[in-house]
Structure 1
Amino acid sequence: MTVYSIHVRDTGLKPDLALVKDGFSWPAAIFGFFWALVLGAWDVALVLLAVQIVAGLALPMLIGDATALSVVQLGVSVLIGLIANELRRWSLDRRGMHEEAIVTAHDKEEAERRYLDANPYMTAKLLRD
Structure 2
Amino acid sequence: MKLYIPCIKPDAPGPQIPVMVQDGFSWRVLFFGWFGLLTYGAWISALLAAAVTMIVLHVLKGFWPRLDLVVAIHAVLASFTAEIRLWEQRLNGRVPGTPIAAPSRDIALLRWMDQQQYAPSYGTSPEFPCASS
- TM-score category (smaller protein): 0.7 to 0.9
Equivalent position of 1:20 in the other structure: 21
Distance in structure 2 (CA, Å) of the matches to 1:78 and 1:41: 17
More strand by percentage: 1
Match for 1:26: what amino acid?
W
Equivalent position of 1:7 in the other structure: 7
Cα drift, residue 113 of structure 1? 0.8
Name the TM-score, length of structure 1 as normaliser: 0.78
Listed as ranges, the matches of 1:68-83 within 5 Å are 69-83=66-80
Deviates more, 1:24-33 or 1:79-88: 24-33
Q: Secondary structure at the match of 1:3?
A: strand
**CA 1:16–1:10 in 2, change beyond 3 Å: closer, same or farther?**
farther
Listed as ranges, the matches of 1:102-121 within 5 Å are 102-121=99-118
Cα drift, residue 12 of structure 1? 3.1
Identity among equivalent positions (%) equals 24
Which sections of structure 1, spanning at least 5 residues, go unmatched? none
Equivalent position of 1:52 in the other structure: 53
Q: Secondary structure at the match of 1:124?
A: coil
Which sections of structure 2, spanning at least 5 residues, go unmatched? 120-124
Cα drift, residue 28 of structure 1? 1.6
Q: Indicate if the aligned counterparts of 2:3 and 2:23 stay in contact, CA closer than 8 A.
A: yes
Quote the RMSD (CA, aligned, Å): 2.7
Cα drift, residue 75 of structure 1? 1.2
Q: Indicate if the aligned counterparts of 1:9 and 1:16 stay in contact, CA closer than 8 A.
A: no
Distance in structure 1 (CA, Å) of the matches to 2:77 and 2:97: 25
Q: Secondary structure at the match of 1:55?
A: helix
Number of aligned positions between the proteins: 123
Q: Secondary structure at the match of 1:75?
A: helix
Equivalent position of 1:35 in the other structure: 36
